[in-house]
Amino acid sequence: MRTPALVAAVGIPAYLLFMVLAAPASFLAARAARESDGRLHFSDTQGSLWSGSARAHVDAPGGAYTFDRVEWRLLPGKLAEGRIAFDVAVDSGEARGNVQLLRGWSEWEARGATARIRSRLLPVFFPMVAAWRPEGKVSITADGVRWNEREIHGNATVEWLDADVALSDVKPLGAYRLALRGMGDTAGIVLSTLSGPLEIKGAGQWKLPTGVAFSGEARAEGSSAAALEPLLNLFGPKRPDGARAIEVRIR
């Protein structure tokens, strides 16, 4: 190959790659906004596709919320695998987290994901819990979780610590764990109680994309059992064994 041809074969792709990586942060922000179908907006963007930061505004089902700072850093080594990957850090007054986010040809992947969220923020994303006015802390961990519109693979864990709701005088109610295991177009769900006088447990499935089916039970334990009766009555009538049945269907 002649020298000019070699320079063109190597130099032009390298130059194009440099131009892409040097694109302003607003380019990445605009692409992310389109991927979210307009539910995500950005402002105060700084930096480039390589590394940058912005404020993220989310139009959630229960209202709007702003993440004060979202930072990202490109991981160029993943390009050889045919995927674009970023280290992402999110921080705001009531939520913060870190994740390595990868995008391939047909799916997303989250590695080393950790997040801490104040429970009072949950009604913004899940309006159905607004009347309960939850308090406490929610911890989320996930590693190697892959998903697209039709399938999800991998494990994730959500823990609600120092759980508290306005509808009960018993504080805290306990600590709870929700484990999710993706197995294709279905993800198994297992809910268990880690500690506390209100025991909740159950299992179900998240069927993509149709919805969630969950069955479980709630019961009171220990010296707080009598004080928890008004809260338990909201779940339903008492069974012969003293527990209340929980049935959730989301379509």
pLDDT at 114: 98
Residues 6+ apart with CB under 8 A from 166: 132, 133, 135
What is the distance between the alpha carbons of residues 229 and 219, in angstroms, rounded to a whole number?
9
Residues 6+ apart with CB under 8 A from 129: 122, 123
pLDDT in tens, 152-171: 999 999 999 999 999 999 99
Tens-place pLDDT, residues 27-84: 777 777 777 777 888 899 898 888 899 999 999 899 899 999 999 999 988 878 888 8
Query: Residue 208 is inside which H or E element, if any?
Result: none
User: Which amino acid belongs to residue 195?
Assistant: S
Torsion angle (degrees, nearest 10) of CA 9, 11, 17, 21: 180
What is the mean pLDDT of the segment spanning 207-230?
93
- Give Cβ neighbours of residue 108 (< 8 Å, ≥ 6 apart): 101, 102, 146, 147, 148
Q: Is 66 left (phi over 0), alpha (psi -120 to 50) or beta?
A: beta
Q: Give dist(CA 197, CA 47) in Å, integer.
A: 50
Percent of the chain beyond pLDDT 70? 90
Q: pTM for the full model?
A: 0.86
Q: Is 25 helix (H, G, I), strand (E, B) or coil?
A: helix
Which one is predicted more confidently, 1 or 183?
183
Q: What is the pLDDT of residue 18?
A: 44
Cα–Cα distance list, 128 to 7, 124, 147, 207, 248 (Å)? 61, 10, 25, 20, 12
* Per-residue pLDDT band at 12 (split at 50, 70, 90): very low
pLDDT at position 32: 77
